[in-house]
Amino acid sequence: MPRFAANLHYLFTELPFLDRFAAAAACGFRGVEFQVPYDHPPEVLRERLDACGLEMVLFDAPMGNWDAGERGLACLPGREAEFRASLDRVVTYGRALGCDTVHVMAGVVGPGMDYAECERTYIANQRHAAEFLAPQGIAVVIEPINPRMGLVQGGASYTTEGMHGYFLNHSEHAHRLLAAIGHDNAWLHLDCYHMQVLEGHLADTLRTYLPRLRHLQIAGVPGRHEPDVGEIHYPFLFDLLDELGYTGWIGCEYRPRGATVAGLGWAAKYGISAPAD
């Protein structure tokens, strides 16, 4: 049976952020994820998790200046000291929230930047992060993201359909990078939405990379809406993941077309639905 986590930057955005925890729990979610915990004190987030009986399953390492278009620091030459210093915040929030998985984002390769140099920087930084976070019980995950699209216009904070110029785009590249990083605390994070936009062959990719897969996310294609909207047949993939023995979380990182609870019909067979009146 898949374990679904509500992404609170995407779901329940009808509510103030701190009220989304209770809304997710009322619908049957037992895990939550969101990109940026740093907007709130860790003790406030911990209280919400405890009050709602929720597990924090994933957050992102500091990404630099989001409003200026930065989407991570790991591949940026010359920013190594800033990247390493940012890991202290990961430890602070990871400990407080009881979260054992952090997405260490790569960043954007801008005009005039040398891609090969960015890759060397990325490998060294991710190796350092994996080593630094291992004693804390926090695993590093890396995620391919499509570079064709950007922020959701008029959407909630931190919601995107892709990241223009993002360094890491394909699952095969992520696999090669993990081999180069060469640390057993570095893992793969796949998002079926991005995979379908750029690659297709979802079932084969999941079969191939399952041994290194620690986290998975879902959304419909096109539009990044509910997973029962669009061209991906998720019930098949969920059954496949059960068959393959995947026991990690599946993050629901999609944009509801309307009210969040109205779009949960796809999840009823998995114990998630609108709360009873």
Label residue 1 by pLDDT band (50, 70, 90). Answer: confident
Residue with tokens 């920087």: 121
Counted domains in the chain? 1
Q: Comparing 157 with 197, which gets the higher pLDDT?
A: 197
CATH number of the domain bearing residue 239: 3.20.20.150
Q: Is residue 276 part of a domain?
A: no
Q: Is residue 35 part of a domain?
A: yes
Label residue 150 by pLDDT band (50, 70, 90). Answer: confident
Q: Is residue 92 part of a domain?
A: yes
Q: What's the mean pLDDT in 87-114?
A: 96
62-72 pLDDT, tens digit each: 999 888 888 99
Label residue 168 by pLDDT band (50, 70, 90). Answer: very high
Q: What is the pLDDT of residue 175?
A: 97
Q: What is the pLDDT of residue 277?
A: 64
- CA atoms within 13 Å, Cβ hemisphere of 195: 22
Q: Is residue 30 part of a domain?
A: yes
Q: Is residue 275 part of a domain?
A: no
Q: What is the pLDDT of residue 152?
A: 77
Average pLDDT, the chain: 95
Range of the domain at 265: 3-270
Label residue 96 by pLDDT band (50, 70, 90). Answer: very high
Residue with tokens 């796809």: 266
Q: What is the pLDDT of residue 149?
A: 74
Q: What is the pLDDT of residue 274?
A: 85
Q: What is the pLDDT of residue 47?
A: 98
Catalytically annotated residues: 143, 253
Q: What is the pTM for the complete model shown?
A: 0.95
Residues contacting residue 44 through CB under 8 Å, at least 6 positions apart: 18
Indicate whether 107 pLDDT > 90.
yes
Indicate whether 163 pLDDT > 90.
no
Label residue 156 by pLDDT band (50, 70, 90). Answer: confident
Indicate whether 273 pLDDT > 70.
yes
* Poorest-pLDDT segment among 41-55, 143-157, 161-175: 143-157
